[in-house]
Amino acid sequence: MTARSPGSEWPTDLSATAATDAALSADGAYLMLQQPAEALPGGPVRVGIEQEWHTYRLTDPSRHLEAAEVLDKAATGGPLPHGSRITVEPGGQVELATLPFDPWWVALEALRLDGAVIRQRLAAADIATVAAGLDPFRMPSRTLSHPRYVAMEEYFDSRGPAGRRMMASSASIQINIDPGPPEVANQRWGLAHRLGPALGASFACSPSRVFRSARMANWDEIDPTRTRPALRTGDLMDDWASYALGARLMLLHDGPDRCTAVTTPMTFADWIARGIDGRYPTAQDLALHCTTLFPPVRSRGWLELRWLDSLPAGVAETATAAVSVLLIDEEAGQRASDACASVANDWSEAARQGPREPALAQAGAACLRIAAEALARTDVPTQYRRAVAEAAERWPARWRCPADDLEKRLRLGDKVAQLAEPLQEVWW
């Protein structure tokens, strides 16, 4: 009942290669982290989308919902039309994960149509969904009691409240995309990072007194060894292996029902070298460790872009269309990369100011205009091209983002009922 890959058709991630109980050497761990490179596909690029929404019982909107009550209602009626999966996060957030699709834009339709079905099913049970990067109404409260989340909370609490906010009060959009063969994968890896600050700012949707994307800022307060960007040399597999081995160890797993927080600082590489009370990590331990890493772009055999706030219906598909086409269209990607050159590392400024920072606004508007042109060269429904072009002029070109719209509604006194996502399918 947590985030997982959008479908079994994706290249295999580490969990499928971790059957042995033998202790890992440093070289063995490094090689294991590079194994997905062997599965990097060529050919058409597939995209899958995951989106989370905050859930509220309209008769008691201050209460975080239990995972079971959300999942039971969301799953009522059987499989979704496009086969998307439904899961629930530790604070009761509902998540839809589409399958990976070729052509890639079918994933946009899956999000649009399956998302509407989930909203309708939940509404029938008096449960509303709200799209925002952070819960605008409630303090964090974990309602999922799985041992993994109990231990994660203990680990995060040793550093402050940001971890609880991430687990129980955040909601995002994640774009999953085939990396392509190695030379393309390295380019796509770098581009996925360079686009993040500008487009994350353009679509920021978690306002606070200080931030346009308080969700993105919250990641900066969590253990930086597992949340800072993983891009270093530009070589996808080398970057990811170094990142994973250099990240702090969070959890020790002892079967499915036992999990212990590791609050004494040590990296996974330290565990390989020194052990913990005579215990040394196995391949399965490394696979589980990688599920506790949350950088803006994560390698899982596919690329998982994690830097978009949850966005309202229609806007979510628009943002995803823009990001996806820039990663897939080589010419558009190069132009967007050039447009983002001066802000490619401005993650903190993107969270704080969003497109109120002129350089981020200029880069974001340029990227969206480039994306609209690229979409016109595809068979994607024309509504998405128009929506992306309109988004450029509505938000970054005016130094604005969806957070400004949400903030205005909150100041006017809108509550859950007014901010609830529509039940019908939404075009921009």
9 in a structural domain: no
Helix, strand, or coil here: 302?
Answer: coil
pLDDT at 314 over 70: yes
Residues 132-145: tens digit of each pLDDT? 999 999 999 999 99
Q: Domain containing 233 — which CATH number?
A: 3.30.590.20
Task: Tell me, yes or no, whether 2 lies in a domain.
Answer: no
**Does 424 reside within a domain?**
no
pLDDT at 428: 72
Answer yes or no: is 6 within a domain.
Answer: no
**pLDDT band, residue 257 (cuts 50/70/90):** confident
Residue 402 lies in a domain: yes
Residue 14 has pLDDT above 70, yes or no: no
Share of the chain above pLDDT 90, in %: 89
Higher pLDDT, 262 or 255: 262
Overall number of domains in the chain: 1
How far apart are alpha carbons 344 and 71 in whole angstroms? 38
Q: Identify whether 4 is part of a domain.
A: no
Exposure of 424 by Cβ count < 10 A (0-12 exposed, 13-18 middle, 19+ buried)?
A: exposed
pLDDT bracket for residue 2 (50, 70, 90): very low
Quote the pLDDT of residue 168.
97
Residue 231 is given by DSSP the state -
Q: How high is the pLDDT of residue 41?
A: 61
Q: Where are the beta strands (DSSP E) in 15-100?
A: 47-57, 85-88, 94-97
Grade residue 20 by pLDDT with cuts at 50, 70 and 90: low
Which of 35 and 310 is assigned the larger pLDDT?
A: 310
What's the average model confidence in pLDDT over 331-341? Answer: 98
Report yes or no on 135 lying in a domain: yes
State what percent of residues in the chain have pLDDT above 70. Answer: 93
Taking residues 185-194, what's their average pLDDT?
A: 97
Distance CA 358, CA 94 (A): 35
The tokens for 350 are 């993107």
pLDDT number for residue 13: 58
User: Which pLDDT belongs to residue 40?
Assistant: 59
Q: 428 vs 120, which has greater pLDDT?
A: 120
Weakest mean pLDDT among 35-44, 91-100, 176-185, 192-201: 35-44
Indicate if the pLDDT at residue 366 is higher than 70: yes
Q: Is the pLDDT confidence value at 161 over 60?
A: yes
Please list, in sequence order, all residues whose beta carbon lies within 8 angstroms of the beta carbon of residue 351, skipping any fewer than 6 positions away: 200, 201, 204, 211, 212, 213, 214, 216, 217, 220
Q: Quick one: average pLDDT of 138-154?
A: 95
pLDDT of residue 141: 97
Domain membership of residue 7 (yes or no) is no
Residues 245-250, mean pLDDT to the nearest whole number: 98
pTM, two decimal places: 0.94
Q: Which of 11-15, 139-143, 228-232, 424-428 has the lowest mean pLDDT?
A: 11-15
Q: 262 falls in which pLDDT band (50, 70, 90)?
A: very high
Three-state DSSP at 234 gives coil
The pLDDT-based confidence of 167 (bands split at 50, 70, 90) is: very high
209 pLDDT tier (thresholds 50, 70, 90): very high
Domain with 236, as residue range(s), is 14-419
